[in-house]
Amino acid sequence: MIEVEYTLDHPILRETLQSGVSVTLNWESSQTGPNDERRMIAWLESDDFDAVERAIRDDPSVENPVVLTDLGDRRLYRFDLAEVGKESSIMPILADVGGVHQELTADAEGWRNRTRFPDRESFERLRRFCSDNDIPFRFERLWQQSDRDGGRPSAVTEAQHETLLAAVESGYLDVPRKCSLAELGAELGISQSAASERFRRGTKRLVESTLGSEGDEA
């Protein structure tokens, strides 16, 4: 078993993510219907959902967007994949090789994946699929199952470390809070949604590396 981090410049929602609007995506699930229709459910974060909605309407990779949950600066969407989205989706090849997403987020810089594969050949099949379909692929890191307590990354990224440290020092974690998420983002020179994503991803990694995950065997 291996775990791999990699980034894709993927066609799905590319035009929305690269439209100039501040928006980040956290994938929840993908579904395939009986007639090969494919759907994706994902959280989007933005401080300008009017602009996001306009970008989604013009995005050729998705159809029929539906807001399932609205939390103000976060919305849970369901998308039907259009033909270009279905043709480029990596989900069928992942299902074929036994790959399982551990984390999947996206922004203007691409789709950041952390995926567990049965072996290196399974991972190479995904990479070949991306090459055959002209999907730019950037390899980041790979762990063997025996590495770092079962293959889990034990350290946060530099950006996540900076965000978590700033959250502590600014009083964001105090009760009551002395700093809002918007103020934390301003201190770091990033948007509120980007600060939120970094904080959540960094916290998740710390919990996984310290306590493990529910899917691990005892």
* C-alpha atoms less than 13 angstroms from C-alpha of 190 in its C-beta half-sphere: 20
- The segment with the largest mean pLDDT, out of 20-34, 70-84, 154-168, 189-203, is 70-84
Is residue 21 over pLDDT 50? yes
Residue owning tokens 């994503």: 197
**Who has greater pLDDT, 120 or 214?**
120
Indicate left, alpha or beta for 6 from its phi (over 0: left) and psi (-120 to 50: alpha).
beta
- Distances, alpha carbon 16 to alpha carbons 53, 77, 79, 86, in Å: 9, 13, 13, 17
Q: List residues bridging with 100 in a β-sheet.
A: 116
Of 25, 5, 6, the residue nearest 15 (C-alpha): 25
Q: Has residue 64 got a pLDDT over 80?
A: yes
Q: What's the chain's average pLDDT?
A: 86
- Rounded to whole angstroms, how far apart are CA atoms 157 and 41? 26
Can you read off the two tokens belonging to residue 75?
Answer: 């919305």
Contact by Cβ (8 Å): 79, 64:
yes
pLDDT at 31 over 50: yes
Dist CA 125 CA 120 (whole Å): 9
Q: Write down the pTM of the prediction.
A: 0.66
The per-residue pLDDT for range 68-127, each reduced to its tens digit, is: 999 989 999 999 999 988 888 999 999 999 999 989 999 999 999 999 999 989 999 999
